[in-house]
Amino acid sequence: MSKRVGIDLGGTKIEVVALDEQGEMVVRRRVATPQNDYLGTLQAISCLVLDVESELGESVSVGIATPGAISPATGLLRNSNSICLNGQPIDRDLEKLLTRPIRIANDADCFALSEASDGAAIGAATVFGVIIGTGTGGGIVVNGQLLAGPTAIAGEWGHNPLPWPQPDELPGPDCYCGKQGCIETWLSGPGLARDHLSVTGEALTAESIVVEADAGSDVARETLGRYERRLAKALASVINVIDPHVIVLGGGLSNLPNLCQRVPELWGEYLFSDCVKTKLVQAKHGDSSGVRGAAWLWPC
């Protein structure tokens, strides 16, 4: 098998790409995700893989980026926002359907692997990949290998508490995980919007806050300033633990203006070091990082 196929299993779409030996994309397709239909989702993935093989005229390896992760305790998918996938042995069912081994990883892990393999962090020995969007996610890559961890939660920084909280940040917003003050409740898109609403009384989306700030709104700029400092604190706590060479930002909020400049200007205050060599960069492959990383789960 000389071609790698990656599948990004999203809540609204399923995307497939095929990469050649050099990592060049040779096929790319997407279909709508069957809603609330586990068997239909399996069939859609199978059809995409078989169609790609037919077009290429050869067998391919298959890697899949999923919401959620396979539980080491049960072998079943958990924590997926596509509810019909939870509690299912999706990797084993797909292996039976496709009659071959597959590799599966969380979508944030695939993002990190993609950017470490041939993206914004290519060549870096240690990479922390960060997704900040509707939620938060993270993945760790060391010497080109994804670090999954024995409980499959390596990189799940979003469900640690916001470090070095100010008095007005305690106890923090409720998180769907059952705790309060998780990093995700502050740094996700809904978290940014909630913070702006609580301080100003204005119900704005993250995108609208940026527009207001660009138009000269001081309160919108203050909201973005609070966001930058919270991101700096959250990433400083990661640097204190794993000291990565590169941190890559992805997801919708990674497009907030000047994050890669402003956050490193702030995080030194929270680091247990007199210098910082970690680089903060924006993802090279954007929304394609997850599906490309799924393909990279297999070597050549």
CA–CA separation, 130 and 268 (whole Å): 19
Say if residues 5 and 18 touch (Cβ distance below 8 Å). Answer: yes
- pLDDT level of residue 221 (50, 70, 90 thresholds): very high
Answer whether 3-107+288-295 and 120-283 agree in fold. yes
pLDDT of 160 > 90? The answer is yes
Structure tokens at 233: 């604190």
Kind of pairing between the strands at 145-146 and 103-106: unpaired
Q: Per the CATH hierarchy, to which homologous superfamily does domain 3-107+288-295 belong?
A: ATPase, nucleotide binding domain (3.30.420.40)
CA–CA separation, 56 and 47 (whole Å): 14
Please give the share of the chain, as a percent, with pLDDT higher than 70. 99
pLDDT of 300 > 80? The answer is no
Say if residues 82 and 32 touch (Cβ distance below 8 Å). Answer: no
How high does pLDDT run on average in the chain? 94
pLDDT tens digits for range 109-118: 999 999 999 9
pTM: 0.93
Average pLDDT (156-179) is 95
pLDDT of 11 > 90? The answer is no
| Residue 82 CB neighbours (<10 A) | 20
- pLDDT level of residue 299 (50, 70, 90 thresholds): confident
pLDDT tens digits for range 12-48: 899 999 999 888 999 999 999 999 999 999 999 999 9
Average pLDDT (284-288) is 92
What per-residue confidence (pLDDT) applies to 82?
83
pLDDT of 2 > 80? The answer is no
120-283 CATH pick, 3.40.640.10, 1.10.357.10, 3.40.50.300, 3.30.420.40 = 3.30.420.40
What per-residue confidence (pLDDT) applies to 79?
83
- In the chain, domain spans: 3-107+288-295, 120-283
CA–CA separation, 181 and 163 (whole Å): 9
Structure tokens at 256: 């907030």
- pLDDT level of residue 80 (50, 70, 90 thresholds): confident
CA atoms within 13 A on the CB side of 45: 27
Is 269 exposed, middle or buried, given 0-12, 13-18 or 19+ CB atoms closer than 10 A?
A: exposed
- Smallest Cα–Cα separation from 4: which of 14, 17, 107, 13? 17
pLDDT of 68 > 90? The answer is no
| Residue 277 Cα to chain centre, angstroms | 23
What per-residue confidence (pLDDT) applies to 1?
52
CA–CA separation, 223 and 182 (whole Å): 18
CA–CA separation, 162 and 141 (whole Å): 23
3-state secondary structure (DSSP) of residue 32: strand
- pLDDT level of residue 125 (50, 70, 90 thresholds): very high
| Residue 252 CB neighbours (<10 A) | 15
